[in-house]
């Protein structure tokens, strides 16, 4: 089996690593890897290869980083390299580019007689049809879902609309962040991908249900700013959903802060939303539209993540102080 792999972040690198681990014994080869171009990262904003590119190069694989697969010289060159790789199947995991039908038509396909041909499969981090789109893990936490999972799906030209091949549910921990859940789902996705490819002769494609479709829009930085008029439980979920990106934010007296950890308390506060009602070693309690949010880990711009006790030693807050009402388009901390 000749597999062209397309993916970018660590989530995808786990799947590629799983493929490479079993490829020699299974008789699989990976003649080409597609990933996003190098991006500026870190404090120095140096161009940095994606986790998938780094892994692929470490294994001596051929890597291509097209900026588009739809039109232009870059896309044309990428299509030529895809044809030259002579893939049986295209495996996609968090790639970041929409694949047009012309790309999906390139692989030879698995299992003769399958219609439409099984030319491309995707490792998607949700239980489809819930949370199609770019940010399924963060949106599941933000919405308060109790579980999510992995769907191995047959790709078509739509946005995560293809038939489902395998699924596996994963419970979401009560205090789990998007970063933590991503790590668990990456491992589950890698395992399920290998299982799907090993059992391709017995796979059954199931159309996605028409009911229950939701879309996980890409997260924008402005969403990170906490609106204290919302219930504390909603804000606590946002804090977890936006860790590690874009990180929940608030500001006091014009000073922006990142909020890394918070918990909703089951008590009300007779105060305007955004007002600090208590500031102690175990957390900073803030009145919300409903209930109270306890901030337990914070960070000033240019500083380190600190538990509330250490944060208060450098930023003395007191009951009665109030967080700013921040405009949605304010720059992120």
What pLDDT, on a 0 to 100 scale, did the predictor assign at position 210?
Answer: 94
| Average pLDDT of the segment spanning 29-57 | 93
Q: What DSSP string describes 149-174?
A: EEEEEE--SSSS-SPEEEEEEEEPPT
Find, among 256, 270, 219, 254, the residue nearest to 240 by Cα: 219
Q: What is the pLDDT of residues 18-32, one digit of tens each?
A: 999 999 999 999 999
Does the pLDDT value for residue 333 go beyond 60? no
Does the pLDDT value for residue 330 go beyond 90? no
Does the pLDDT value for residue 118 go beyond 60? yes
Read off φ and ψ for residue 326, nearest 5 degrees: -100, 130
What pLDDT, on a 0 to 100 scale, did the predictor assign at position 291?
Answer: 97
Does the pLDDT value for residue 255 go beyond 70? yes
Q: What is the pLDDT of residues 58-87, one digit of tens each?
A: 999 999 999 999 999 999 999 999 999 999
Assess contact for 129 and 42: CB atoms under 8 A. Answer: no
pLDDT band at 115 (very low <50, low <70, confident <90, very high): confident
pLDDT band at 332 (very low <50, low <70, confident <90, very high): very low
Assess contact for 45 and 18: CB atoms under 8 A. Answer: no
Written as six digits, the tokens of 314 are: 């450098």
Q: Could you tell me what percent of the chain has a pLDDT over 90?
A: 90
Residues 6+ apart with CB under 8 A from 293: 228, 232, 235, 236, 262, 263, 264, 265, 285, 286
Q: What is the pLDDT of residues 258-267, one digit of tens each?
A: 999 999 999 9
Residue 56, phi-psi category: left (phi > 0), alpha (psi -120 to 50), beta (remainder): alpha
Q: What is the pLDDT of residues 198-225, one digit of tens each?
A: 999 999 999 999 999 999 999 999 999 9
Assess contact for 35 and 50: CB atoms under 8 A. Answer: yes
Q: What is the pLDDT of residues 126-164, one digit of tens each?
A: 999 999 999 999 999 999 999 999 999 999 989 999 999
Q: Which domains does the chain have, with CATH numbers?
A: 2-216 (3.40.50.170), 221-314 (3.10.25.10)
What pLDDT, on a 0 to 100 scale, did the predictor assign at position 302?
Answer: 87
Q: What DSSP string describes 210-269?
A: STT--EEPPPPGGGGB--TTSBHHHHHHHHHHTTTTT-EEEEETTEEEEEEEEEEES---
pLDDT band at 43 (very low <50, low <70, confident <90, very high): confident
pLDDT higher at 253 or 53 = 53
Average pLDDT, rounded, for the chain: 95
């Amino acid at each position: 089996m000749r597999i062209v792999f397309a993916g970018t972040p660590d989530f995808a690198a786990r799947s590629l690593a799983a493929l490479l681990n079993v490829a020699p014994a299974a008789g699989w080869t990976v003649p080409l890897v597609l990933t996003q171009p190098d991006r500026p990262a870190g404090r120095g904003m140096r161009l940095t290869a994606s986790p998938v590119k780094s892994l692929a190069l470490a294994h001596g694989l051929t890597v291509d980083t097209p900026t588009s697969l739809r039109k232009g010289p870059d896309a044309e060159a990428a299509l030529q390299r895809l044809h030259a790789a002579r893939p049986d199947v295209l495996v996609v995991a968090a790639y970041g580019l929409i694949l047009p039908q012309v790309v999906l038509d390139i692989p030879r396909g698995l299992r003769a007689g399958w219609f439409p041909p099984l030319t491309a499969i995707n490792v998607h981090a949700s239980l489809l049809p819930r949370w199609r789109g770019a940010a399924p893990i963060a949106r599941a936490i933000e919405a308060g879902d109790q579980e999510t999972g992995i769907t191995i799906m047959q790709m078509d030209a739509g946005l995560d609309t293809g038939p489902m091949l395998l699924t596996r549910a994963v419970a979401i921990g009560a205090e789990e962040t998007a970063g933590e859940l991503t790590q668990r789902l990456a491992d589950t996705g890698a395992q399920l991908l290998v299982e799907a490819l090993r059992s391709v002769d017995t796979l059954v494609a199931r159309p996605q249900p028409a009911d229950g479709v939701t879309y996980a829009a890409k997260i924008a930085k402005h969403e990170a700013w906490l609106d204290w008029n919302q219930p504390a439980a909603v804000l606590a979920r946002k804090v977890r959903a936006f860790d590690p990106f874009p990180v929940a934010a608030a500001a006091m007296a014009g000073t922006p802060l990142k909020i890394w950890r918070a918990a909703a308390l089951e008590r009300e506060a007779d105060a305007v939303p955004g007002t600090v009602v208590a500031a102690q070693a175990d957390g900073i309690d803030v009145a919300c539209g409903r209930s109270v949010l306890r901030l337990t880990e914070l960070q000033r711009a240019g500083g380190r993540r600190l538990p509330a006790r250490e944060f208060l030693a450098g930023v003395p807050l007191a009951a009665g102080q109030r967080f700013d009402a921040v405009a949605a388009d304010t720059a992120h901390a």
